[in-house]
Amino acid sequence: MRWLVPLAEAHEAARFGRKAAELAVVGALHGVHVPEGFVIDASAFEAVLRSSLPASQWPDGLLGGPAVDRRAARLAAIRQRVLDAPLPDGLEAELLQAAQALGDRALAVRSSGLHEDATMASAAGLQESFLGVRGSAALVGAVRRCWASLYAERALTYLARQRGACAVGMAVIVQVMVDAECAGVLFTADPLDGSRGVAVIEATRGLGVAVVDGRSTPEVLRVRRSDGAVLQRTEARASVATVLSADGGIHEQVLAERAREAPVVGDAMLVDLMTLADRVEAQAGEPRDIEWAWERGALWLLQSRSIVGLAGAPSAARGLDDRRGWIWSNVNVGEALPGVATPLTWSIAVAFSERGFRKAFAGLGCEVTPELELVGIFHGRIYLNLTNFVRVARQVPLLSPRMLIELGGGGGLEAVEQQVRPGSWWPFVRRLPRTAGILAAENFGLGDRLRRFEADFSVARSRFASLPSETASRVVLRAALRDARALLDHTGELMLTCASGYLASIVAMRELLRRVLPSESERLERELLAGFADLDSAAPGIALVHIAEIARREPAAREVIMGTEPLRLTVGDLPAGPTRRAFESFLKAYGFRCPREAELSTPRWREAPGTLFAAMRAYLQQSDDRPIGRVERQLRLRAEAEDNLERRLPPVARSGARHLLARTQRFARLRERMRSRVTEVLGFVRTIALAASARLSQPGGVADGAFYLTVDELDGWLGGELSDAEAIIAIRRAEVARDLARPDPPASFVGSPPSVASSPEPVGDRFTGVAASPGVVTGRVRVLRDPADGALLTPGEVLVTAVADVGWTPLFLVAAAVVTELGGALSHAALVAREYGVPTVVNVAGVTRALKTGDRVRVDGDRGVVERLECE
């Protein structure tokens, strides 16, 4: 049997995969150069499976079976059997003969899965590629590893979601390597905003592998297609290039200073790239994602595929069950859990969020089918499915999805409104009596339920505090984990009830203000919903300011705080005295909080108080009591706003308005208190995970392995039911490292994250976002990536950061204003900013890249606008 064909003849996607078939087609175009090579028919992989594995372990068998069969360690054993399996008769001889015909040259060995690069669902990047392959043994080994890579956990998890979208099989492409001087990716349409008139080029020195897998920051060009004009160029940030090794494989080579500073894409290269874009797109009839390489003045095409999930694509025309058209956003959830989450965290967070949203919608009388996907994970980041979210919310008469999304910070609003049209309200009306009964039951006696909860929670807190984590057996830890999970469920349900009550109340309050005082409604809303003085999320910052004032009057403590690197300080470094006692009390009350507190692997304040000392150091640089003065001013403003509203309302409406305002303010407090309790329970889970990690065998003595297991896997390991935990941890650790190396996907996208390094740099000097806390301030910018650098923030500066949760808020009392890239008007950070009286604008896309430390800006927290007045 003939197992191979020349690449130019591999037109049958059913045998050779769409990747190979695309290369065969574009390679025949005039002026398009594709490296020569050959393709191994997918039937060879089928023969290997038949000879080495039972049918239940073939990809189709695993995809149709239970998810436990796709667990990392079980798949590792299957991969090894594929690697050890004999090759089909005649394949090795045919393979080596074809390679010899290509000459003594380095080869690239890539998968061409029958499921890859399909128009419906791209699986690009799920399987491995091997570059710089030299020698017979290395070539045979690379082919085997390509086949085995189909059994990666992430690959099968993805394919399980796409079940029925495409066949599963594996062909293999072998091509001559291009010894690239530079390489990258060419999008013939802008993958972020969908513009067909703009191409986006990503380029780096050397091989393009670092661009494709997201490990480097490439040069990015946005080019007008009509005339090739460069609209925007972002410099590459790379000190090394990936190059071919003479003896096989690839390695990194340090770039000379001149090469680092020079543009990667020159004029001649740009002309050739635009010509390539025209030819390939014309042949395909749609925008393309092209991998390319440049060697000695020649442009080579390495791969061409559809731009899946292209922004601006006609997703509204697709069925709502078509995953390609689903709109995802992390504008809201990204504030609570920014960046890459560890497996333990996302396994809890996704289940918690799914359960919470379902309960909230069911409580409103909505029908939520079991298979409806509301939360997803992309490159380790958590995203909300706006399409399905709005799809459910549309069931409620008069409930505006626009208002819901705007309150959450926006993101994908216009696209999802176009995509999901209002449906019939009759099913909702039919369920209304039952819904009303459920809502009444949940809210009746809520105060008593919360009082009982607080009493029970105090007992649980003491129980977890007394857990002998260093000596407890796995049986004891498992029982504690199950207790913590049950407590998290109960706490989450109460938080959801309070959050739903807050949302319903604020929607009603907003409508009342718009009807009665339309010109002042937004300002009044912000003033009426601030100045509580007892908001749980605002309390740590206020308490820390008071401790700083104690330290100001205690020279020995002040000297330690001001004279020591904050991250090196512990409470034990403070001299015995009032400051130390106050700080110890602070940690007892709030030590379970921290920046990025939803991530379980993050040390809590009681473990790592460095960010607190950084904030105190910044407070002590101030010579007045401005932070507390601003908080007291908010109390006065709220009282004045309440009096103003009372005077302006007609007498018949005053009683109802007072009741609605009191209800809204009460639920605002309760929402924040219950969020605080949820965070405390997550701290209990962290304690158990640390104890479990100490009992796991791990390389390098790093005791954090439990964070790389899902919560169910951790439960299984503690119960002695999971014997391969160490293997799973090793695989997951590598996956998290890979996801951390990737640039963050866009805040909103369609279908799947585009393969582009980052959003275009914001242009101009005026940036708009969501008005979160009122006031207008002019000051110098301080861009911070980590609250541990808070000591750099000086009074009067504008704090600019990507995202801010409660762990960041102590710094708000130093800043003149706050600007963030994520968040909404109801986010926890926005509420705290209003409590502190700090003008704040959130959801300003790309602001941490647009503004530099030292820029002078005007922040308008009333209109949600940031203006740059002067560059640094």
Q: For residue 791, what is the domain's CATH number? A: 3.50.30.10
- Check whether 527 has a pLDDT greater than 60: yes
3-state secondary structure of 868: strand
HSE value, Cβ hemisphere, 13 Å, CA-based, for 759: 19
223 within some domain = yes
Over residues 455-481, the mean pLDDT reads 93
- Check whether 766 has a pLDDT greater than 90: yes
**Confidence at residue 774, expressed as pLDDT on a 0 to 100 scale:** 87
**Confidence at residue 72, expressed as pLDDT on a 0 to 100 scale:** 59
Beta strands 4-6 and 298-306, pairing class? unpaired
Same-domain pairing of 8 and 149: yes
636 within some domain = yes
What tokens does 715 get? 């439960």
Same-domain pairing of 85 and 191: no
pLDDT digits (tens, 9 = 90+) for 249-301: 888 888 888 888 889 999 999 999 999 999 999 998 889 999 999 999 999 99
Contact 593, 672 (CB under 8 A): no
pLDDT digits (tens, 9 = 90+) for 106-117: 999 999 888 654
- Check whether 410 has a pLDDT greater than 80: no
**Confidence at residue 317, expressed as pLDDT on a 0 to 100 scale:** 38
Smallest CA-to-CA distance from 159 within 84, 58, 76 is with 58
What is the CA angle 175-119-177, rounded to 5?
Answer: 10
Percent of the chain, pLDDT > 90?
Answer: 39
Instruction: Give the bridge partners for 186, in sequence order.
Output: 201, 290
Instruction: Give the bridge partners for 820, in sequence order.
Output: 801
What is the CA angle 71-77-81, rounded to 5?
Answer: 135
Beta strands 198-205 and 298-306, pairing class? unpaired
pTM of the model: 0.73
Name the phi and psi angles at 208, rounded to 5.
Answer: -90, 5
Give the model's confidence band at 799: pLDDT under 50 very low, under 70 low, under 90 confident, else very high: very high
Same-domain pairing of 191 and 120: no
Contact 822, 354 (CB under 8 A): no
The domain total for the chain is 6
- Higher pLDDT residue, 675 or 416? 675
What is the CA angle 142-147-152, rounded to 5?
Answer: 110
Same-domain pairing of 167 and 237: no
- Higher pLDDT residue, 410 or 241? 241
Least confident of 332-336, 502-506, 732-736: 332-336
Cα distances (angstroms) measured from residue 330 to each of 378, 695, 748, 823: 10, 35, 7, 9
- Higher pLDDT residue, 128 or 65? 128
Give the helix/strand (H/E) hosting 198: strand 198-205
Same-domain pairing of 122 and 212: no
149 within some domain = yes
Same-domain pairing of 724 and 792: no
**Confidence at residue 123, expressed as pLDDT on a 0 to 100 scale:** 44
- Check whether 496 has a pLDDT greater than 90: no
Rg (CA), the chain: 29
Q: Three-state SS across 274-341?
A: HHHHHHHHHHHCCCEEEEEEEECCEEEEEEEEECCCCCCCCHHHCCCCCHHHCEEECCCHHHHCCCCC
Contact 407, 774 (CB under 8 A): no
526-530, 588-592, 843-847, range with greatest mean pLDDT: 588-592
> In this structure, how many other beta carbons lie within 10 angstroms of the beta carbon of residue 101?
10
Name the phi and psi angles at 857, rounded to 5.
Answer: -135, 160
- In sequence order, what DSSP letters do the residues of 674-695 get, joined into one string? HHHHHHHHHHHHHHHHHHHHHH
- Check whether 595 has a pLDDT greater than 60: yes
Same-domain pairing of 21 and 170: yes
Name the phi and psi angles at 428, rounded to 5.
Answer: -65, -45
Burial of 446 (0-12, 13-18, 19+ CB in 10 A): middle
Same-domain pairing of 359 and 434: yes
The 10 Å CB-count burial string (b at 16+, else e) for 811-836 is: bbbbbbbbbbbbbbbbbbbbbbbbbb
Contact 130, 145 (CB under 8 A): yes
761 within some domain = no
- Check whether 323 has a pLDDT greater than 90: no
Residues in CB range of 742: below 8 A, 6 or more apart: 213, 214, 215, 379
Residues in CB range of 571: below 8 A, 6 or more apart: 580, 583, 584, 587, 609
Pairwise CA distance, residues 108 & 143, whole Å = 10
Same-domain pairing of 553 and 602: yes
Same-domain pairing of 223 and 199: yes
**Confidence at residue 428, expressed as pLDDT on a 0 to 100 scale:** 54
Q: Could you tell me the sign of the dihedral formed by the alpha carbons of 697, 698, 700, 703, in that order?
A: negative
| 371, 404, 439 - which closes a domain | 439
Q: Could you tell me the sign of the dihedral formed by the alpha carbons of 189, 195, 197, 198, in that order?
A: negative
Give the model's confidence band at 120: pLDDT under 50 very low, under 70 low, under 90 confident, else very high: very low
Least confident of 42-56, 177-191, 438-452: 438-452
Same-domain pairing of 36 and 122: yes
The 10 Å CB-count burial string (b at 16+, else e) for 524-544 is: bbbbbbbbbeebbbbbbbbbb
| 741, 774, 801 - which closes a domain | 741
Q: Which residue has the tokens 């504690």?
A: 480
What tokens does 543 get? 């308490």
Q: Could you tell me the sign of the dihedral formed by the alpha carbons of 421, 422, 424, 426, in that order?
A: positive
Q: Which residue has the tokens 């303010």?
A: 665
Smallest CA-to-CA distance from 838 within 854, 820, 856 is with 820
Beta strands 776-783 and 798-801, pairing class? parallel
**Confidence at residue 115, expressed as pLDDT on a 0 to 100 scale:** 65
Q: What is the dihedral of CA 842, 846, 848, 851, to 10 degrees?
A: -100
**Mean of all residue pLDDT scores within the chain:** 83
Beta strands 840-842 and 817-820, pairing class? parallel
Cα distances (angstroms) measured from residue 213 to each of 266, 742, 866: 23, 7, 34
**Confidence at residue 157, expressed as pLDDT on a 0 to 100 scale:** 67
3-state secondary structure of 555: helix
> In this structure, how many other beta carbons lie within 10 angstroms of the beta carbon of residue 675?
22
Contact 225, 199 (CB under 8 A): yes
Over residues 94-114, the mean pLDDT reads 91
Pairwise CA distance, residues 724 & 78, whole Å = 14
Same-domain pairing of 265 and 378: no
CATH code, domain with 296: 3.30.470.20
Give the model's confidence band at 739: pLDDT under 50 very low, under 70 low, under 90 confident, else very high: confident
**Confidence at residue 797, expressed as pLDDT on a 0 to 100 scale:** 94
Is the backbone of residue 248 left (phi > 0), alpha (psi -120 to 50) or beta? left
| 306, 334, 366 - which closes a domain | 306
What is the CA angle 100-101-106, rounded to 5?
Answer: 60
What tokens does 12 get? 């049958």
The residue type of 491 is T
The DSSP symbol for 195 reads -
Burial of 162 (0-12, 13-18, 19+ CB in 10 A): middle
Over residues 658-669, the mean pLDDT reads 87
Residues in CB range of 563: below 8 A, 6 or more apart: none
Q: What domain range is 330 assigned to?
A: 318-439
The 10 Å CB-count burial string (b at 16+, else e) for 24-59 is: bbbbeeeebbbbbbbbbbbebbebbbeeebeeebbb
What is the CA angle 291-295-299, rounded to 5?
Answer: 50
